[in-house]
Chains A and B, each alone.
Chain A
């Protein structure tokens, strides 16, 4: 198991280097020059060349990338070109807000989807099943930024109950978390339902029923626990989706997170900040996947046995 974890950690390094290359290359290809944008309109060519050097943007693409990668291997993501501060600092100033939103949305998603999924599975092929599946499907199909706008219209503008944006206080997270959670809930409901259905048909439940254990107890004591395992596995991808989805949602709700930061970094051609943010996103995402795998092995002995082989 330990060996497996170490192996996974080591495998992250080439992946991250490759991500840095892909993103750096794409950003370099993008037309537009941050130096030209930041220089005063009456700057001369010499002054611009001076700025370029100051920002570490001189030389050919391989030279620049090599310089960047050397620093990256030392754990240095460089300085933001537009904000003139270390990328890593800027990222971590904004990251808690995104994490807060992502976790908030997952809580919302779980609150909605687990009961809904169980209800659908236990009332298989009833109207309840159909209704919850349609709800799940709607959640999956709705563009989340649109849902966000609709919620703003209803709860902020018409009813005036909740703030339409910003990040002060508990109230302001409610709408963005619901918006982002709704999309995750769609997926989670479907998975809860199918995994519950699978478990319900298992022999040991049939035995339990035969022994006269009440249906309620069968469901909540025996079935639910086993059905939750697959849900944990998709926790990682849910978190990943939440982080990705946060990009649009943060824009809708003026949430001061990294998603919005990354988009504005890309737009303002702040290469180091954009590349740094995407690399950090990837690190976080990969780490979550790893943690989920470990957790999965921990809760399911069958998998643990596989790893130790």
Chain B
């Protein structure tokens, strides 16, 4: 039986559901996107499992000097490092750092960037100019150098790392959001809403934001990938999470000294970074195609 009349709320819910399911239907079609999604899910599972299975004090902090530099074997699938610590345990446990840095930093830049972008796009004029010019300033500085400068200004810790990377990518989100708002800014229904006295905040949330949603979602997934890469670069340059946290970039950096004789020390953490970044990139790609089928060619 088909209902003849729907309330506005029901219609909205219906529309939302159908958009979500359509996106999902599109997303499912791409095997690479699905692969990305599965890997990301696995990574999250591994991260949680590693926190449960391994104990920080005994498995991460503790060293076993007598068993240093053991080549990969059944006992130590990824070998042991220069302190005799199991590299596999460290890589698995370390997923936590990369993932959390990637996700939190993107949350920071997404929140700040999108807000600025929406404000710029919605209000236009002087506000827009100021925000855009500020973004330009920060985009002019190579992101890694800006990251280093922030890290050395505020000291090395997980929080500062997240904050530094988050800040570096704010302009990108601002630009994306603003670009998405521009086409709807002068639409009549927005004018109408304004005239009928709806608050700016409400207009932004109900009419403007939905338009900016899909590019922002894509930017978020890609941003996580970029954030993880930048974080590992910073750790590699020695500005990251304090020891003995098994952050992948830091593991690479400390293994580099032994690259000639024990190259597996650099191989596995690097592989872990690559797989994680690849998974998020594939997801981002898939989402982009799914959200905007027109773009897919």
A and B touching (Cβ–Cβ under 8 A): yes
Interface pair B281/A244, CB less than 8 Å apart: no
Please give, as numbers and ranges, the residues of chain A lying within 8 Å of B237 by CB-CB distance. 247-248, 251, 263
Complex Cα gap A286–B137 (Å): 10
In chain A between 1 and 45, which residues have their CB closer than 8 angstroms to a CB of chain B? Answer: 14-15, 18-19, 22-23, 26-27, 29-31
Interface pair B137/A149, CB less than 8 Å apart: no
Please give, as numbers and ranges, the residues of chain B lying within 8 Å of A150 by CB-CB distance. 266-267, 270
A307 on the B face (CB < 8 A):
no
Complex Cα gap A138–B133 (Å): 34
Instruction: Pick the residue among A134, A145, A153, A282 that contacts B233 (CB under 8 A).
Output: A145
Interface pair A248/B144, CB less than 8 Å apart: yes
Interface pair A137/B281, CB less than 8 Å apart: yes
Please give, as numbers and ranges, the residues of chain B lying within 8 Å of A266 by CB-CB distance. 145, 148-149, 152
Q: Mark B259-273, 1 if CB is under 8 A from A, else 0.
A: 110010011001001
Please give, as numbers and ranges, the residues of chain A lying within 8 Å of B137 by CB-CB distance. 15, 18-19, 22
Residues on B lying within 8 angstroms of A by beta carbon are 32, 133-134, 136-138, 140-145, 148-150, 152-155, 225, 229, 232-233, 236-237, 249, 252, 256, 259-260, 263, 266-267, 270, 273-274, 277-278, 281-282, 285, 297
> Could you say which of A145, A194, A245, A267 has the most chain B C-beta atoms within 10 Å of its C-beta?
A145
Which label, helix, strand, loop or mixed, suits the secondary structure of the A interface?
Answer: helix
In chain A between 206 and 246, which residues have their CB closer than 8 angstroms to a CB of chain B? Answer: 240, 243-245
Instruction: Pick the residue among A14, A124, A152, A285 that contacts B259 (CB under 8 A).
Output: A152
Complex Cα gap A274–B141 (Å): 12
Instruction: Pick the residue among A14, A146, A240, A244 that contacts B274 (CB under 8 A).
Output: A146
Q: Mark A93-135, 1 if CB is under 8 A from B, else 0.
A: 0000000000000000000000000000000100000000110
Given contacts A26-B149, A141-B281, A150-B270, 16 further A-B contacts (CB under 8 A): A15-B140, A23-B149, A27-B152, A30-B149, A134-B32, A137-B281, A137-B285, A140-B277, A141-B278, A142-B274, A143-B236, A143-B273, A244-B142, A244-B143, A278-B142, A282-B140
Complex Cα gap A198–B148 (Å): 40
Instruction: Pick the residue among A30, A144, A153, A243 that contacts B152 (CB under 8 A).
Output: A30
Instruction: Pick the residue among B136, B141, B263, B281 that contacts A278 (CB under 8 A).
Output: B141
